[in-house]
C-alpha cells in the first residue's frame, strides 16, 4: 500500500496522528509506504515521525521536499488554504514511476479500520476515486463551478498514477 500526505510544520502533529492510525490499522500489510510531502517540517518533528517508522515493521517513510513544486504555484485564492494542500496536484511527478497507485490523505483524518477494501477498489478505468461532497454555493462559484455542479472531497483520493501520467 502506498500513501501520500502533505504537511507543513504547523500540521506535523496532525500528520503524525494520521500516519499512526494508518499503520496501526494496517499491521497485516506486507509493506506500507508513506510518502510525506515536506513543506518545511522542522527537523525535530521529522525525527518524531521517523520514530513511528521504527514502531511498525512494515512501515517505509519517504520525505519529499515540496520546494520546487511550491515555487511553481501562483495562487490568488479567495479563502485561506494551506499551500501544502496543493501538493496533491503534483503526485504523479513527485512519486517514482514504479508507484502506480496511491492513496492521498489530508492530515485532518484518522483511520479507524483496515484500508484493504479502499486499496483494492475497482476504479473502473477512472484516474481518481473520490467521494462527492456538499459544498456551499459561494465556494463553488469561487472555483468556477455552477451551483448545481458536483464537487468532490479531495481530502481522500485513490489515484491511478499510471493513468494520471498517461493522460498528463
How far is Cα 156 from Cα 130, in angstroms, rounded to an integer?
Answer: 7
Average pLDDT, the chain: 89
22 sits in which H/E element: helix 12-24
In the sheet where 32-39 sits, what is the strand order? Answer: 59-65, 32-39, 2-8, 101-105, 151-160, 128-133
Per-residue pLDDT reduced to its tens digit, 100-156: 999 999 999 999 999 999 999 999 999 999 998 888 888 888 878 898 888 888 889
Q: How confident is the model at residue 13 (pLDDT cuts 50, 70, 90)?
A: very high
pLDDT of residue 84: 59
Residue 23 is inside which H or E element, if any?
helix 12-24
**What average pLDDT does the segment 28-32 reach?**
96
Judged against a pLDDT cut of 60, whether residue 159 lies above it is answered with yes
Residue with cell 479567495: 78
Amino acid at each position: 500500500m502506498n500513501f501520500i500526505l502533505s504537511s507543513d510544520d504547523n500540521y506535523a502533529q496532525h500528520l503524525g496522528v494520521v500516519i499512526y492510525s494508518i499503520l496501526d490499522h494496517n499491521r497485516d500489510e506486507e509493506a506500507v509506504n508513506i510518502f510525506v510531502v515536506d513543506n518545511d517540517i522542522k527537523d525535530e518533528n521529522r525525527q518524531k515521525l521517523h520514530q513511528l517508522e521504527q514502531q511498525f515493521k512494515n512501515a517505509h517513510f519517504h520525505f519529499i521536499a515540496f520546494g520546487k513544486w511550491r515555487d511553481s504555484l501562483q495562487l490568488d485564492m479567495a479563502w485561506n488554504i494551506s499551500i501544502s494542500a496543493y501538493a496533491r496536484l503534483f503526485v504523479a511527478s513527485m512519486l517514482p514511476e514504479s508507484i502506480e497507485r496511491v492513496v492521498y490523505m489530508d492530515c485532518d483524518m484518522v483511520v479507524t479500520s483496515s484500508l484493504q477494501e479502499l486499496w483494492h477498489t475497482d476504479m473502473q478505468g477512472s484516474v481518481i476515486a473520490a467521494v462527492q461532497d456538499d459544498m456551499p454555493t459561494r465556494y463553488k462559484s469561487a472555483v468556477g463551478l455552477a451551483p448545481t455542479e458536483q464537487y468532490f472531497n479531495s481530502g481522500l483520493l485513490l489515484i491511478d498514477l499510471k493513468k494520471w501520467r498517461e493522460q498528463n
